[in-house]
Amino acid sequence: MLENEAGALSRVAGLFSARGFNIESLTVAATNDPTLSRMTIVSVGDDNIIEQIVKQLEKLIDVVKVVDLTATEHVERELLLVKIDVNPNTQADIDRQIDQFSGKIIDVSEDTYLIEVAGQSKKINEFLDSLDASKILEVSRTGVTGVCQKREG
Amino acid sequence: MKLNGAQILIDCLKSEGVKHIFGYPGGAVLHIYDALNVCTAIDHILVRHEQGAVHAADGYARTSGKCGVALVTSGPGLTNAVTGIATAFTDSIPMVVVSGQVPSPVIGSDAFQEVDAVGITRSCVKHNFLVKNADDIAETVKKAFYIATTGRPGPVLIDITKDATIAETEYEGYPQTIKMRSYQPEVQVDAEQIKKAIAIIEKAKKPIIYSGGGSVIGNASKALTTLTHNTGFPITQTLMGLGAFPATDKQSLGMLGMHGTYESNMAMHDSDCIITVGARFDDRITGNLEKFCPYAKIIHIDIDPSTIGKVVGVDVAIIGQVNDVLQALIQSLDTKKLENIDSWWKQINDWRSVDSMAYRTKQGVIKPQTVIEALYEVTKGEAIVTSDVGQHQMWAAQYYPFDKPRRWINSGGLGTMGFGLPAAMGAKLADPDRDVACVTGDGSIQMMLQELSTMLQYHTPVKIININNGYLGMVRQWQEFFYDKRYSMSYMDALPDFVKLAESYGHIGIKVEKETDLKPALIEAFKQKDRTVFIDILTDPTENVFPMIPSGAGHHEMLLAGRDEMASTNDSGLNLV
Instruction: Write the ipTM.
Output: 0.90
- Contact between B21 and B43 under an 8 Å Cβ cutoff? The reply is yes
For the cut 70, the answer to whether the pLDDT of residue B306 exceeds it is yes
Partners of B127 on chain A (C-beta within 8 Å) are 61
**Backbone angles phi and psi of B487, in degrees to 5:** -90, 80
Strand runs labelled E in B14-149:
20-23, 43-46, 68-72, 95-101, 127-131
Closest-CA distance of chain A to residue B122, Å: 7
Provide the percentage of residues in chain B whose pLDDT is more than 70.
Answer: 99
The minimal CB distance from A51 to the residues B126, B181, B309 is found for: B309
pLDDT grade for B577, boundaries at 50, 70 and 90: confident
pLDDT above 70: residue B46: yes
pLDDT tens per residue across span B413-459: 999 999 999 999 999 999 999 999 999 999 999 999 999 999 999 99
Domains in chain A, start-ordered, CATH in brackets?
2-71 (3.30.70.260), 74-148 (3.30.70.1150)
A51 and B CB contact within 8 Å: yes
Q: Angle CA(B387)–CA(B390)–CA(B393) in degrees, nearest 5?
A: 35
**Numbered residues of chain B with Cβ closer than 8 Å to any chain A Cβ:** 118-119, 122-123, 126-127, 130, 147, 180-183, 304-306, 308-310
User: Residue B163: what residue type?
Assistant: D
List pLDDT tens digits, range B201-250: 999 999 999 999 999 999 999 999 999 999 999 999 999 999 999 999 99
Q: What is the 3 state secondary structure string of B459-521?
A: CCCCEEEEEECCECHHHHHHHHHHCCCCCCCCECCCCCCHHHHHHHCCCEEEEECCHHHHHHH
8 Å CB contact of B183 and A61: yes
Count A/B contacts: CB-CB distance under 8 Å.
36
Q: What is the CATH number of domain B368-546?
A: 3.40.50.970
How far apart CA B471 and CA B485 sit, in angstroms, is 13
- B112 in active site: yes
* Domains of chain B by residue range: 2-170, 191-352, 368-546
Mean pLDDT of B320-344: 97
User: Which chain B residues are within 8 Å of A55, Cβ to Cβ?
Assistant: 305-306, 308
Task: Measure the N-to-C terminal CA separation of chain A; round to a whole number of Å.
Answer: 10
In A1-153, beta strands by DSSP E: 2-3, 25-30, 36-42, 74-85, 104-108, 112-119, 136-141, 145-148
Question: pLDDT tens, B391-414?
Answer: 999 999 999 999 999 999 999 999
Mutate to test the interface with A, among B140, B143, B152, B306 (most CBs of A within 10 A): B306
Question: Å from A59 to nearest chain B CA?
Answer: 8
Of B127, B182, B306, the CB nearest to A56: B306
pLDDT confidence tier of residue B563, bands split at 50, 70 and 90:
confident
C-alpha span between B279 and B235 (Å, rounded)? 13
Cα dist. B510→B348, B501, B532 in Å?
A: 42, 11, 11
Assigned CATH topology for domain B2-170: Rossmann fold (3.40.50)
* A48, A61, A66: best to mutate for the B interface, most B CBs within 10 A: A61
| Average pLDDT for B378-384 | 98
Reply yes or no on whether B479 is catalytic.
Answer: no
**Residues B471-530 pLDDT 10s:** 999 999 999 998 999 999 999 889 999 999 999 999 999 999 999 999 999 999 999 999
Reported confidence tier of residue A153, pLDDT bands at 50, 70, 90: low
The yes-or-no answer on residue B143 being catalytic is: no
Mean pLDDT of chain A: 94
| Interface test mutation site (partner A, options B133, B182, B304, B312, max chain A beta carbons within 10 A) | B182
Q: Which pLDDT belongs to residue A152? A: 72
Contact B5, B53 (CB under 8 A): no
Quick one: DSSP state of residue B393? H
A114-129: per-residue pLDDT in tens? 999 999 999 999 999 9
Q: Kindly report the nearest CA distance between residue B219 and chain A, in angstroms.
A: 22
Is the model's pLDDT at B557 over the cut of 60? yes
d(CA B7, CA B282): 43
Contact B120, B84 (CB under 8 A): no
Amino acid at B52: G
From chain A, pick out residues whose CB is under 8 angstroms from the CB of B147. Answer: 61
pLDDT digits (tens, 9 = 90+) for B162-212: 999 999 999 999 999 999 999 999 999 999 999 999 999 999 999 999 999
Question: Helix, strand, coil: what percent of chain B each, to 5?
Answer: 40, 15, 40
Residue of B nearest to A15 (CA): B123
Strands B207-211 and B252-255: unpaired
Cβ atoms of B53 and B454 closer than 8 Å: no
- Opening angle at CA B542, ends B541 and B548, nearest 5: 130
pLDDT at position A151 is 83
User: What per-residue confidence (pLDDT) applies to B492?
Assistant: 84
Architecture per CATH, B191-352: 3-Layer(aba) Sandwich (3.40)
Dihedral of CA atoms B165, B171, B176, B178 in degrees, nearest 10, equals: -60
pLDDT band at B575 (very low <50, low <70, confident <90, very high): confident
pLDDT at B567 over 70: no
Question: Is the pLDDT assigned to residue B566 strictly greater than 70?
Answer: no
Q: How far apart are CA B556 and CA B547, in angstroms?
A: 12
Select the residue of B119, B127, B309 nearest A61 (Cβ to Cβ).
Answer: B127
